[in-house]
Amino acid sequence: SSPASSYDCSFKILLIGDSAVGKSSLLVSFVSASHIDDEIAPTIGVDFKIKFLTVNGKKLKLTIWDTAGQERFRGITSSYYRGAHGIILVYDVTKRESFTNLADVWAKEIELHSTNKECIKMLVGNKVDKNEERMVTREEGLAFAQESGCLFLESSAKTRENILEVPSLLEEGSSVVK
């Protein structure tokens, strides 16, 4: 296999959403999940992780950026969004505000700053393992995803439910790699 430094195509993926919805946990679960060609490069910064996977014989380099809380993120919006191929919007199904904030705050930010109209968006309702505390129904999540042109899934970083579905976003994006 080729060294970690060589790849055919590079993707920039952003994780967006309120603090404590589980972005970092999803990032860790996703990057450490056994997937196609799991080759984890050392973490270069605290705010992003790199994953390599092979799709259609091409080696893809994924750089996944975590917003690390909205307060800090708000100051660096344009550069954060620049060149992004995929945006993962995360809310906590047990915190209604984290869901309404996606529509009220984050969707507007994306509209303002995301210059790549081809950017693939995915809405993720996290913490479904806490189903008895659920405040946002699956139907509401799905409706918002459809309205805003996002793929949709519900996940749990704790039980790892649907974690391996997250790369479907990237496989769809990989259609640009011919």
- What are the residues binding ligand GDP (CB under 6 A)? 19-25, 126-127, 129-130, 156-158
Cβ 155 to ligand GDP shortest distance, Å: 7
63 or 126, CB closer to ligand GDP? 126
Cβ 28 to ligand GDP shortest distance, Å: 8
Distance CA 37, CA 62 (A): 12
List the beta bridge partners of residue 11: 62
Cβ 56 to ligand GDP shortest distance, Å: 31
17 or 173, CB closer to ligand GDP? 17
Cβ 66 to ligand GDP shortest distance, Å: 6
63 or 174, CB closer to ligand GDP? 63
Cβ 123 to ligand GDP shortest distance, Å: 15
SS3 readout for the chain: CCCCCCCCEEEEEEEECCCCCCHHHHHHHHHHCCCCCCEECCCCCCCEEEEEEEECCEEEEEEEEECCCHHHHHCCHHHHHCCCCEEEEEEECCCHHHHHHHHHHHHHHHHHHCCCCCCEEEEEEECHHHHHHCCCCHHHHHHHHHHCCCEEEECCCCCCCCHHHCHHHHHHHHHHCC
Cβ-closest position to ligand GDP: 22
59 or 127, CB closer to ligand GDP? 127
47 or 59, CB closer to ligand GDP? 47
